[in-house]
Amino acid sequence: MTKFIFYFKSIFWGVLFGLTILFFLPNSKLPFNWEVANEMYQFLKSEHHRHLDDRNQILTIESLSLAPAVDDASPSVVSINVFRPRRLRSDSRLAPNQRIVDFTVGIGSGVIISEEGYIVTNNHVIENAKQISINLPDGRKRFVELVGRDKETDLAVLKTDLKGLKPAKLADSSKIKPGELVMAIGSPFGATQSVSLGIVSAITYGLPFNRIQTDAAINSGNSGGALINTKGEVVGINQMILSSLGGGQTGVNYAIPINFVKRIASEIISDGFVRRNWLGINVGELSAEIYQRYFPDVESGKGVGISSVDKDSPAEKAGLMQNDLLISFDGQTVENLKLFYELFSSTPIGKNVELEVIRSGETLKLNVQLIEKPFGLD
């Protein structure tokens, strides 16, 4: 029995020793040889490091910094001082026919859009100005020229002869979506340039342009400043806030998309004013109840309702009437209010277009020629 155990142990350890040698032989045919084991080790090692890298790349609130974007955009944003005549007053030290002019000083912001010195801001910032001056972030100050303004779009263009300006990087605002991080840069209440952070809350649609809604704080003095993305690109020009009765912040602020701003600014720079279409109707979306009651054969939400028609307008001359449902514009189906605004604003002045409307259950096709909107007409 003792000999059997001895022989068994000898055979067991011999087989184990032989397998061990075969396992570590470089050219071993065993499924788990040294080369395979080494490759597996290197693979596991690389995977371990990759997971560490991925973990290090996870964005945390502690590691989030938007300073590079602000540093890139802030040199292109200026503060604006507007001097407006308030009243004439006499003084005992003056001659009888002499008067002193009192001025009020308004505040706002602007964005440099070219090396030639063109600056875009809001029309309401510079309206009724006698003189306008800008303050650059680098400390330089200068009176500027008003190139032109457009009341309907609330945009204006200024011009300075200062050199060494840094034009803003302009984004494609058509790609911006709700939920994206944005920052408002300007000089609220005339203070030093400051930055507020928020998100794009919504895109609101309307004439003469769509608006970017954001909860990034905008206050008096921010108007005309930049709304930028995390790359430091300008996506919009800050315009206004939806204020509470007490005048405080509500978190509902609006900016004009920069794609639209570029088009308007280009026209102001080239012509001094903006030329635009005029159809002469006011439109809006209708409720499901209205569709069911007056337009039962039309899918709810399709088309836009005509709420009024301007006197002596192209629309009136073409035969459009209040309460018509406009379902087609120049051969394209009007799916919603947003699409109507896009179709109308992109149509050249003077073009003849066919409009399809539903009136009292009947579908009518009317031809209208869009003309340039008369100057001074709101």
Residue 167 burial by Cβ neighbours in a 10 Å radius (0-12, 13-18, 19+): middle
Name the CATH superfamily for 173-262.
Answer: Trypsin-like serine proteases (2.40.10.10)
Tokens of 36: 């395979």
Name the CATH architecture for the domain at 277-372. Roll (2.30)
The per-residue pLDDT for 297 is 87
Span 241-297, pLDDT tens digits: 876 555 556 778 999 999 999 989 999 999 888 888 889 999 988 888 898 888 988
Residue 205 or 73, more confident: 73
- Which residues form the catalytic set? 124, 154, 223
CA 126, 205, 308: angle at the middle one, nearest 5? 90
- Predicted confidence at residue 192, as pLDDT, reads 80
Across 83-92, average pLDDT: 64
Q: Which of the four pLDDT bands, split at 50, 70 and 90, describes residue 227? A: very high
Q: What is the pLDDT of residue 15?
A: 59
Q: Which CATH number fits domain 74-159: 3.40.50.1970, 3.90.1150.10, 2.40.10.10, 3.10.180.10?
A: 2.40.10.10
Among candidate residues 75, 171, 76, the one with its CA nearest the CA of residue 118: 76
Lowest mean pLDDT of 98-107, 130-139, 224-233, 341-350, name the range.
98-107
> Rounded to whole angstroms, how far apart are CA atoms 232 and 221?
21
Residues 323 and 295 sit within 8 Å (Cβ to Cβ):
no
Task: Quote the pLDDT of residue 161.
Answer: 94
The structural domains of the chain, with segments of one domain joined by +, span 74-159, 173-262, 277-372
Query: Taking the model in full, what pTM does it have?
Result: 0.66
Strand pairing of 234-241 and 211-214? unpaired
Supply the pLDDT for residue 3. 59
Instruction: State whether residue 12 is helix, strand or coil.
Output: helix
Decide: 299 and 286 in contact? Cβ < 8 Å: no
pLDDT over threshold 70, residue 213: yes
% of the chain beyond a pLDDT of 90: 48
277-372: same fold as 173-262? no
- State the average pLDDT for the chain: 82
Helix (H) / strand (E) element for 246: namely: none
- pLDDT of 224: 93
pLDDT bucket at 91, cuts 50 / 70 / 90: low
Q: Alpha carbon of 214 to those of 110, 199, 201, 260: distances in Å?
A: 18, 6, 5, 17
CB of 234 within 8 A of CB of 227? yes
248: left (phi over 0), alpha (psi -120 to 50) or beta: beta
Residue 318: predicted pLDDT = 93
